[in-house]
Amino acid sequence: EAGVVQSPRYKIIEKKQPVAFWCNPISGHNTLYWYRQNLGQGPELLIRYENEEAVDDSQLPKDRFSAERLKGVDSTLKIQPAELGDSAVYLCASSLVEDRVQVVYNEQFFGPGTRLTVL
């Protein structure tokens, strides 16, 4: 079974340029997450989707970041304009959440990430 797919794997841009990341979750997974991981730190959640609805975007810097998950499958994360401090690895993860109460231990599967360098 294919895992979470992300592209591109690497991206180098100059500051103030726009950039977009794409994620294809595991087939059948209804919940999708975008995380940012800075060097030497653990991943931090940016946004979580349940199907096509963004249910938690409290950590998403909305002045420059946007995300969408059309049709509840693939997702894109965009930064416009990028800043030097946005250099990080952007990880997408997915999980199957069938019951909010029951599923406490459901596993999130991560993609390989996109390593962004802003010059």
Q: Tell me which residues touch another protein (CB under 8 A).
A: 31, 33, 40-45, 48, 55-56, 91, 95, 97, 100-101, 103-105, 107-108, 110-113
* Enclosing H/E stretch for 34: strand 31-37
C-alpha 109/C-alpha 53 separation (Å) is 19
Q: Which is nearer to another protein, 10 or 15 (CB)?
A: 10
- Report, in Å, the least distance between residue 95 CB and another protein: 8
Between 65 and 94, name the residue whose CB sits nearer to another protein: 94
Positive/negative CA dihedral, 115, 107, 78, 8: positive
Residue 89 CB, shortest distance to another protein, in Å, is 9
Least distance between another protein and beta carbon 4 (Å): 8
CB of residue 92 vs another protein: minimum separation in angstroms? 9
Complex with another protein: residue 5 or 81, whichever CB lies closer: 5
CB nearer to another protein: pick between 81 and 96: 96
Q: Are 98 and 81 in contact (CB under 8 A)?
A: no
Distance CA 110, CA 93 (A): 4
C-alpha to C-alpha distances, 107 to 14, 103, 118, nearest whole angstrom: 36, 9, 32
